[in-house]
Amino acid sequence: MALKRDVFRALKDIVGEENISEDLATLNAYAYHFEFGRCPLAEAVVLPAGTEEVQAIVRICNKHHVRFKPLSTGWGPWNSPGDKGAIQIDLRRLNRIIEINEKNMYAVVEPYVIGAQLQAELLKRGLNCNMIGAGSNTTALTGMKMAGYGWTGISMGVSGRNTLGTEWVTPTGEIIKTGSLSTDSGYFYSEGPGPGLRGLFGCTMGACGGMGICTKGAVKIYHWAGPPEPQIEGRESGYSIKITTDMKMKAWYTHFPSYDKLREALYKIAGTEISYTLSKISTLDIAVGLVETNNEFFKLYNDLQKLITVHGFLIIIVANSAKEFAYGEKVFHRILSETEGKTLQMLEEPCNQGKILWHIIRASMQPQGIFRPTGQFFTSFGTQESIDYSLNQMLYAYKLKKNLAEQGKIMPHLEEWSVGSIYDGGHASVIEHPILRHNTPEGLAGAREFAGQAFVAALDPGLNSHVGGITATPGCDAFYNAVGPGHSNLHLWLRKFKKEFDPQGVSEGNFYVTSENEYQEGPFKLPKPS
């Protein structure tokens, strides 16, 4: 179903001939996503240059009842329309860092500024920014897109909380400003006056394109005690920060004799506030970060498996002074001795230390781990809950993966691959359980079976206990219908807002809610609401 010619012409008049395409090769490139494979094709892709062009496109969509789906860097299936008849709005021309406000500690960026770009500017100024674990290759304007979890959770929180004043083109094409920007008081604050719009527009959980388009916004920035001009060595995928004797920064990977000891250590460390990052990961991530080929990876991974009983956590301490660093190190080692924890010796070697540090500071490890082995992965999506809950989920996922691998439904090995960070001084934690998958229809079916079961298990508190358990995931009608009744009828409230702000349903809600209050089968099989 091609776009009607008058609609195509109207869009072309807005962005210019070179910034619109209906070319099949181009549309197919947008539609391919490694998790789901090929998603529905958009009818056209348009590349606006700024807020006014975005607004004009959205108005055309409303006039002609055409659905639209925005994308910033395009990481994952939630960027694709759910069905035919929609256009893709690629925001790559909105690529400016508008302001770095050192005094009030925020940066104003457009959606196609990526984390790596912003961070490069910030480190020079002794500042840093929150980035999601997906990588510094994703937008620096996180928070309004999807989950928002990353390595620096313990020191910087989740992306939703890092979002300050923003500018949005609503689903009907109005321009609105949120937080302090709404009263022209600048970008410095996220909420009010009046009801907070941050959650409504998906800044905390992510509306995945279902509530209009954010065209610029401010993110919090943080003090950076590490080197302002890091000396980087090595080559692509093996970059390493040069380790010097005066460095007040170090990474350790830990392992334990039992899960109870690991649990105890995580709680204790989290409460001390000594860490820049504190993440529960398996040695898979460590091995991936240290070597450059798949063969080397499997060798190292197998060697580490023999050495390690219970995979622990990665911690990085970055201190302002030698005294502060010595304090952090002492606290860390004392907790390890109380919990019988050990550190992985190979990380003491400067070359390995430099690689892990730089991978985590730059948030570059996950893409490498996920894409180098097979190019295909799938994940279970985590739930924000307690450290205890995360660890229990991890053990559940581990058994589930083993079981499915034995049946040949998912790739064997790597069953203990779980990735997650600790937040809020140990009061919260998010963990997800990725798998690698075969690039075949059966591989996709097996991966979906795993993710579906793990996902339903992760949602357990949200479904049954009416508390927590609904974050860290892209939604869909089925998802909100399932968790809504346990959460003050969230599914009904979201739809009320959706109808009000998007009466024609043009802001594609396939990973959010649609206006219709009907049950739809989403990407995951979830229980039907009772």
Ligand X SMILES: Cc1cc2nc3c(=O)[nH]c(=O)nc-3n(C[C@H](O)[C@H](O)[C@H](O)COP(=O)(O)OP(=O)(O)OC[C@H]3O[C@@H](n4cnc5c(N)ncnc54)[C@H](O)[C@@H]3O)c2cc1C
User: Does the footprint of ligand X cover residue 69 (CB under 6 A)?
Assistant: yes
Min separation Cβ 303 and ligand X, Å: 26
Q: Is residue 522 close enough to count as binding ligand X by CB under 6 A?
A: no
Using rule CB under 6 A, residue 208 touches ligand X: yes
From the CB of 200, what's the least distance to ligand X, in Å? 13
CA-based nearest residue to 157, from 76, 109, 221:
221
Q: Shortest Cβ contact with ligand X: which residue?
A: 133
**Residue 504: DSSP 8-state:** T
Of 5-13, 144-152, 182-190, 325-333, which segment contacts ligand X by CB under 6 A? 144-152
Nearer to ligand X, 341 or 522 (CB): 522
The nearest distance, CB 286 to ligand X, in angstroms, is 16
What whole-number distance in Å separates Cα of residue 70 and Cα of residue 259?
43
Q: Is 221 helix (H, G, I), strand (E, B) or coil?
A: strand
The two tokens of residue 54 are: 């975005």
Residue 136 CB partners (closer than 8 Å, separation 6+): 114, 115, 116, 119, 362, 363, 364
User: Residue from 11, 118, 144, 203 that binds ligand X (CB under 6 A)?
Assistant: 144
User: Contact with ligand X (CB under 6 A): which of 72, 130, 178, 190?
Assistant: 72
- The verdict on 153 binding ligand X (CB under 6 A) reads no
Give the residue, chosen from 150, 179, 230, 469, that forms a contact with ligand X under the rule CB under 6 A.
Answer: 150
Min. distance of Cβ 127 from ligand X in angstroms?
21
Q: Pick one of 55, 62, 79, 163: the residue that binds ligand X (CB under 6 A).
A: 79
CB of 427 to ligand X, least distance (A): 19
CB-wise, 325 or 358, nearer to ligand X? 358
Residues in 331-390 at the binding interface with ligand X, rule: CB under 6 A: 366, 370
Which range of residues in 183-191, 206-214, 252-260, 321-329 is near ligand X by CB under 6 A? 206-214
Q: Give CA–CA dist 107/129, Å, rounded.
A: 9
Among 113, 147, 290, 391, binds ligand X (CB under 6 A): 147
145 binds ligand X (CB under 6 A): yes
Nearer Cβ to ligand X, position 332 or 381? 381
Structure tokens that stand for 186 in this block: 């600048």
Query: Per the structure block, which two tokens stand in for 51?
Result: 């807020």
State the minimum distance, in angstroms, from the CB of residue 420 to ligand X: 9
DSSP string for residues in 95-153: --EEEEETTTTEEEE-TT-BHHHHHHHHHHTTEEE---TT-TTSBSSTTSSS----TTH
**Number of shown-chain residues binding ligand X (CB under 6 A):** 31
Cα atoms found within 13 Å of the Cα of residue 366, Cβ hemisphere only: 27
- Taking CB under 6 A as the rule, which mask of x and - marks residues 103-142 in contact with ligand X? --------x--------------------xxx---xx---
Terminal-to-terminal C-alpha distance of the chain: 37
Q: Which is nearer to ligand X, 70 or 426 (CB)?
A: 70
Q: For residues 143 and 156, what is the distance between their CA atoms, to the nearest angstrom?
A: 13
SS3 state of residue 229? coil
Residue 330 CB, shortest distance to ligand X, in Å, is: 31
Shortest distance, position 248 Cβ to ligand X, whole Å: 27
Candidate residues 87, 118, 146, 247; the one interacting with ligand X per rule CB under 6 A: 146
Largest CA distance in the chain: 72
Give the residue with the Cβ less far from ligand X, 99 or 324.
Answer: 99
511 binds ligand X (CB under 6 A): yes
Binding-site member from 21, 66, 76, 360 for ligand X (CB under 6 A): 76
- Establish if 30 lies at the interface with ligand X (CB under 6 A): no
78 near ligand X, judged by CB under 6 A: yes
Candidate ranges 208-216, 291-299, 321-329, 483-491; the one touching ligand X (CB under 6 A)? 208-216
Cβ nearer to ligand X, comparing 275 with 364: 364
Q: Cβ of 231: how many Cβ atoms within 10 Å?
A: 11
Q: Does 58 bind ligand X (CB under 6 A)?
A: no
Is the Cβ of residue 149 or residue 189 nearer to ligand X in the bound state? 149
Stretch in the footprint of ligand X (CB under 6 A) among 209-217, 321-329, 480-488, 495-503: 209-217
CA–CA distance, 61 with 238 (Å, rounded to integer): 45
Residues in the chain: 530
* Residue 81 and residue 67 in contact, taking contact as beta carbons nearer than 8 Å: yes
Write the interaction track for ligand X spanning residues 215-234; mark x where CB under 6 A is met and - where it is not. Answer: --------------------
Of 292, 435, 303, give the one whose Cα is nearest residue 374. Answer: 435
How far apart CA 163 and CA 325 sit, in angstroms, is 30
Rank residues 77 and 426 by Cβ distance to ligand X and give the closer one: 77
* 172: region left, alpha or beta (phi > 0 left; psi from -120 to 50 alpha): alpha
Q: Does 160 bind ligand X (CB under 6 A)?
A: no
Residues 6+ positions from 462 with CB-CB distance below 8 Å: 383, 468, 469, 470, 483, 486, 487
The partner residues of 221 in beta bridges, in order of sequence, read: 129
Nearest-angstrom CA–CA distance, 429 and 243: 30
Q: Looking up tokens 């321009």, which residue turns up?
A: 175
Interaction mask 285-324, ligand X, x per CB under 6 A: ----------------------------------------
Which of 122, 120, 160 shows the shortest CA–CA distance to 137? 120
Find out whether 81 and 36 touch, Cβ atoms under 8 Å: no
> Would you state the structure tokens that stand for residue 317, as one six-digit string?
């301490």
Q: Which residues contact ligand X (rule: CB under 6 A)?
A: 69-76, 78-79, 91, 111, 132-134, 138-139, 144-150, 208-209, 213-214, 366, 370, 511
